[in-house]
């Protein structure tokens, strides 16, 4: 087998998934896992990491139905005096915001009554091979282009079949408006996924999750694509950043979020590890 960067990353993904799922190993298996984990770390340490996450603040673009976040100094509930390093030796922040804020995770339960909440998404689904579909060349003639099955198949001619279990991300460069032009970032319609392409990715390619730079997966009146991906038991990451720094294939994505009991969404951290 040719030991390419892609092969290294795929092996690494399997190693990390196996380690996360392993319970009650014997001494020999533990030694083997420790050696494998050390080897995996050596591979990781030499790679480039790309942050796919926007920093968020009270001015972060958000759907008007949710409203802006409020971040204030945490205070003593009795005196209402904010804690300070000078007087108390520490300081903290009180956050008041909707879960779907900034770069965030939408678990299935966000749209599906019986769907998994964010605390029930399996750990092995948070470390995945990453594929990036770049539709920016198509936006000059069609600014609100919806990624289609034809686009997907053209991508596969160039880069190969989308691997089973992958995280599929849609690059539109909308993230570049996130700081510089937040009103344009919130525009509708916008470049997005088509329902047919996402169905194909789930049913024919077996992807685990999708992600995109916009605040929603699509611009249909009833949010058909977003309803489909979440109702079919898959999660998505919205408001992603820096997909322009990630190759079409060969990278890994690590995503994480707080383990909120019965959580319906929360700001997430997404990181790409390049081949």
pLDDT for the residue numbered 4: 47
**Structural domain boundaries, residue 25:** 5-45
CA distance 203 to 221: 23
Same domain, 115 and 215: yes
Task: Express each pLDDT in 113-138 by its tens digit.
Answer: 999 999 999 999 999 999 999 999 99
CA distance 214 to 188: 10
Tokens 């209402």 found at: 80
Among 223, 232, 155, which residue's Cα sits nearest to residue 190? 223
Task: Express each pLDDT in 14-54 by its tens digit.
Answer: 555 544 444 444 455 556 666 899 999 999 999 999 999 99
Same domain, 174 and 78: no
Q: Are 268 and 44 in contact (CB under 8 A)?
A: no
Same domain, 114 and 246: yes
Share of the chain above pLDDT 70, in %: 88
Same domain, 12 and 110: no
Phi then psi dihedrals of residue 243, to 5 deg: -65, -15
Q: Is 160 left (phi over 0), alpha (psi -120 to 50) or beta?
A: left
Same domain, 124 and 202: yes
Same domain, 103 and 85: no
Q: What are the start-end ranges of the H helices in the chain?
A: 5-21, 27-45, 85-88, 149-159, 177-180, 182-185, 195-203, 224-231
Provide the domain count of the chain: 3
pTM above 0.85, yes or no: yes
Same domain, 258 and 135: yes
Average pLDDT along the chain = 92
Same domain, 76 and 172: no
Same domain, 41 and 141: no
Same domain, 173 and 208: yes
Q: Which residue has the higher pLDDT, 31 or 162?
A: 162
Same domain, 160 and 262: yes
Q: What is the CATH number of the domain that holds 252?
A: 3.50.30.50
Per the omega criterion (within 30 degrees of 0), is the bond before 189 cis? yes
The alpha carbon of 80 is separated from its chain's Cα centroid by a whole number of angstroms, namely 37
Same domain, 177 and 86: no
pLDDT greater than 60 at residue 81? yes
């Amino acid at each position: 087998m040719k030991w390419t960067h892609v092969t290294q990353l795929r092996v690494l993904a399997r190693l990390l998934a196996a380690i996360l799922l392993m319970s009650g190993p014997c001494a020999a298996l533990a030694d083997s896992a420790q050696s494998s984990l050390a080897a995996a770390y050596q591979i990781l340490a030499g790679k480039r990491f790309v942050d796919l996450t926007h920093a968020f603040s009270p001015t972060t673009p958000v759907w008007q139905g949710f409203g802006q976040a409020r971040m204030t100094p945490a205070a003593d509930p009795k005196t209402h005096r904010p804690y300070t390093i000078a007087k108390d030796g520490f300081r903290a922040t009180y956050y008041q915001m909707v879960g779907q804020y900034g770069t965030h995770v939408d678990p299935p339960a966000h749209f599906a009554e019986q769907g998994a909440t964010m605390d029930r998404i399996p750990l092995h689904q948070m470390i995945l091979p990453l594929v990036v579909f770049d539709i920016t060349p198509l936006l000059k003639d069609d600014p609100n282009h919806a990624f289609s099955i034809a686009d997907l198949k053209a991508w596969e001619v160039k880069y190969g079949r989308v691997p089973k279990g992958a995280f599929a991300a849609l690059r539109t460069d909308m993230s570049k408006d996130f700081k510089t032009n937040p009103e344009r970032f919130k525009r509708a319609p916008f470049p997005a996924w088509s329902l047919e392409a996402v169905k194909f990715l789930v049913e024919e390619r077996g992807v685990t999750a999708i992600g995109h730079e916009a605040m929603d997966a699509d611009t249909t009146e009833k949010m058909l694509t977003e309803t489909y991906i979440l109702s079919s038991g898959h999660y998505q990451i919205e408001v992603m950043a820096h997909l322009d720094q990630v190759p079409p294939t060969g990278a890994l994505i690590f995503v994480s979020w707080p383990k909120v009991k019965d959580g319906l969404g929360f700001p997430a951290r997404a990181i790409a590890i390049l081949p």
